[in-house]
Amino acid sequence: MKYGLLRIAAAKPLVKAGDVKFNTDNIITMAAELVRDNVAVVVFPELSITGYTCADLFEQTLLLESAKDSVCRIAVESEKWPGLCLAVGLPIKKGTRLYNCAAVVCEGKILGVVPKSYLPNYGEFYEKRWFAPGLDVKYETINISDSFSDIPFGTDILFEHFGVKFGIEICEDLWVPQPPSCKQAMAGAELILNLSATDELIGKHDYLLSLLSQQSARCRVAYAYASAGYGESSTDLAFSGNCIIAENGSIVAQSPRFSLDSDFTIADVDIANLQHDRTKFNSFSQKEAKNFLICSTSNAEKDQFATLPDEELFRFRKLFRHPFVDERPEDLEKRCDEISSIQAWGLATRLKAIGCRHAVIGVSGGLDSTLALLVTTKAFDMLGLSRKGIFAVTMPGFGTSRRTKGNADRLMELLDVTSLEIPIGPSVEQHFKDIGHDPAVKDVTYENSQARERTQILMDLANKENGIVIGTGDLSELALGWCTYNGDQMSMYAVNASIPKTLVRFLVEGYAKETSNKELREVLMDIVDTPVSPELLPVDSQGGIAQKTEDLVGPYELHDFFLYQVLRHGTDPRKIYKLAVKAFEGEFDRETIKKWLKTFIRRFFNQQFKRSCMPDGVKVGSVCLSPRGDWRMPSDASSRLWLDSLEDFD
């Protein structure tokens, strides 16, 4: 697999109940089309060769024999489809029992046949009238024709294609308390195919989406689900043709329902990410592997996807430029409220535990301190404490602009906190004299002296007021080390420690949209629109911001993208680069992306020492850099291996 990707599909062909030739022709036509899209695995609906709604026709020998002939025909045709593995549904009789089955076909072979484990017997779904449950069918073989004999048959089969193991469920199997996919995943399956014939009922579709996302998350798999659609009998039920693909808790692709045409949905699922999660979370054994037979395709090492050009990569995978931010605008308000509630609850819990009724926070008029102040007021509201117990301090220095100072002052007033102004200029100038630094030299000493002076003021004020210092630095700054050691890097509780810069902006904007105070909304939106800056270098001739962070360390939306891939998936730099090129197409060129990726790697490694002693702060999302649990790394680790991998690579 190239970069750990596998291209899969869920397909719904047109059917006619009982018209085996018509149904088979449609399956073959769709398979040939999917080959052109370089699909590796496709699942068709339950009993797709005969139609699901044949009812007592399943007792007719002619239908059963025709279905067997058709699956053999599909197998023969599949020799023309290099690299494509299909799961199709049909009834198969073995001895005196008839089973509702899935046959897996690839490049001229029928690899195996899996019977449905659990049969519904309620409402219009009385499958036990025709079929036998296959739950106990194991370690058997079946002869489908003279050319296709001794085919593995049972529920104890996994299949392997291009090195990826996958299992089979059939409709009802998913809806029981312990679906077969659970054991299949514990035996090593990274992909589950479900051949289904689910009818439509009020509210059922949403429940189905939830069920699929939850099962894919629980088993840490990709899950492809294909359900019967147009052409099935509507005597008592409506079948809308759900084709859905989930991956590790997320619905990544789905086709429209209620379509009169055949259709399919395709997704590039990231098997490498799934494997990483199974390793990282260390609760995923493969103790069931000994109970399964593995049926492998003959070309397991000949993945045609591996040779695809870059423009074909990720064609069927949605890549989010801002992976920390919910891309659905309709959910922004709910998401912002949940995140800020977690932040505030963490702070409130700490304040309550230590019997503290006061907080001290530096407010610059920038995004981070704004969010920290908003969270602090929310925590005080939770505890029923007066907001006057929040000492919000502006500390104008050599680079403080009129815009940020004005926004800070107005914000503190509107939030009804105790506001203080303590200029740092005279103290820093005295410090320069004490250490013999020429203030005309605008170097790291010039900048860091200001940051440490501000921290000293906050710490001493906290002692005076019997309070704690609230840290304002965010996750992105910690990743890049864009903070002053024992300056803004230090606090007594860091509420933004797991909030990346791209999310900080959305959260402040979310607060702005939520408030009914028009003035507060205007101030917050102006803060959102203000360039990110530490404001440590003198302002320009118009009193504006002269020092812009993203001009120095690179765009935060790129760094947050890199950070997510490194921490969440353990992705190697080459794959991160390819993902970023695709995700930011039209915004950043390849050279720019590679430049800032190298910067990210260098800084991420050599700034670890600042993270090794970071203060407490509650975890909000799946990615965090706390040395007490989420990220432990030697402060003197070498980045050479990671940087070298990007040399001469495009």
Quick one: DSSP state of residue 230?
B
- Using CA atoms, how far apart are residues 227 and 11, in angstroms rounded to an integer? 8
Active-site residue among 72, 85, 171, 624? 171
Q: Give the tokens for residue 399.
A: 């680079």
Token pair belonging to 206: 């949403």
- Put the strands of the sheet holding 418-421 in their side by side order: 418-421, 390-394, 359-362, 468-471, 493-494
Residues 491, 478: Cα–Cα separation, whole Å: 13
Check 12, 94, 116, 598 and give the catalytic one: 116
283-287, long-range: CB < 8 A, 24+ apart: 284/185, 284/186, 284/220, 285/186, 286/186, 286/187, 286/188, 287/186
Residue corresponding to tokens 């908003």: 374
Q: Is 108 helix (H, G, I), strand (E, B) or coil?
A: coil
Catalytic (active site) residue 85: no
Whether 504 and 528 have beta carbons less than 8 Å apart is answered as no
Please give the Cα distance from 12 to 44 (Å, whole number).
6
Q: What is the CA radius of gyration of the chain?
A: 30
Coil vs helix vs strand at 570: coil
Instruction: Give the residue from 466, 330, 448 showing the smallest Cα distance to 397.
Output: 448
Whole-angstrom Cα distance, residue 254 to residue 246?
9
Distance CA 194, CA 167 (A): 9
- Residue 157 has φ and ψ, to the nearest 5°, of -115, 135
Would you state the structure tokens that stand for residue 536, as one six-digit string? 């440590």
Residue that the structure tokens 């809308």 belong to? 240
243-247 β-sheet, strand order: 250-254, 243-247, 222-227, 191-196, 164-170, 157-161, 293-296
- Residue 598: CB atoms within 10 Å: 18
Q: Which of 12, 46, 295, 447 is catalytic?
A: 46
Helix (H) / strand (E) containing 406: helix 402-414
- 46 as an active site residue: the answer is yes
Q: Where are the alpha helices (DSSP H) in 180-306?
A: 180-186, 204-219, 271-281
Residue 474 contacts residue 562 (beta carbons within 8 Å): no
Strands 191-196 and 164-170, by their bridges, are: parallel
Query: In 3-state terms, what secondary structure has residue 159?
Result: strand
| Residue 385 phi, psi (nearest 5) | -95, 150
Q: Tell me how far CA of residue 469 lies from CA of 396, 440, 450, in angstroms.
A: 18, 32, 17
**What phi, psi does 434 have (nearest 5°)?**
-65, -40
Return the H-helix or E-strand segment holding 553.
Answer: helix 549-553
Does the annotation count 68 as an active-site position? no
Is the distance from CB of 417 to CB of 391 less than 8 angstroms? yes
Residue-wise burial string across 271-293, b where 16 or more C-beta atoms lie within 10 A, e elsewhere: bbbbbbbbeeeeebeeebeeebe
Per-residue DSSP letter, 138? -
Q: Report the catalytic residues.
A: 46, 116, 171
